[in-house]
Amino acid sequence: MPMNPSEIESLIREALPDAEVTIEDLRGDGDHYAAHVVSPSFEGKSRVQQHQMVYNALQGRMGNELHALALQTSAPK
């Protein structure tokens, strides 16, 4: 069963409460999303570490309920 965007956003915000999160359904199928996450928690972390933090927030749903997630992360400027 696909995830809805609000569930993805909620999981990310739960793990990164200071984050600005934008979720976009890329195909309208509830299976392919893009996420843009900006968080002070990413400060000093590599892009890989930032993505790992977001994937950890999704609690194992990547590849299961959530098929594809195009991810952009950054620390605030």
Alpha carbon distance, N-terminus to C-terminus of the chain: 37
pTM: 0.90
pLDDT above 90 for 29? no
pLDDT in tens, 38-75: 999 999 999 999 999 999 999 988 888 888 899 999 99
Position 1 pLDDT exceeds 80: no
Please, what's the largest Cα pairwise distance for the chain?
A: 37
Do residues 75 and 43 make contact, with C-beta atoms less than 8 angstroms apart?
A: yes
> What share of the chain in percent tops pLDDT 90?
71
Domains and CATH numbers, the chain: 5-74 (3.30.300.90)
Q: What is the mean pLDDT of the chain?
A: 92
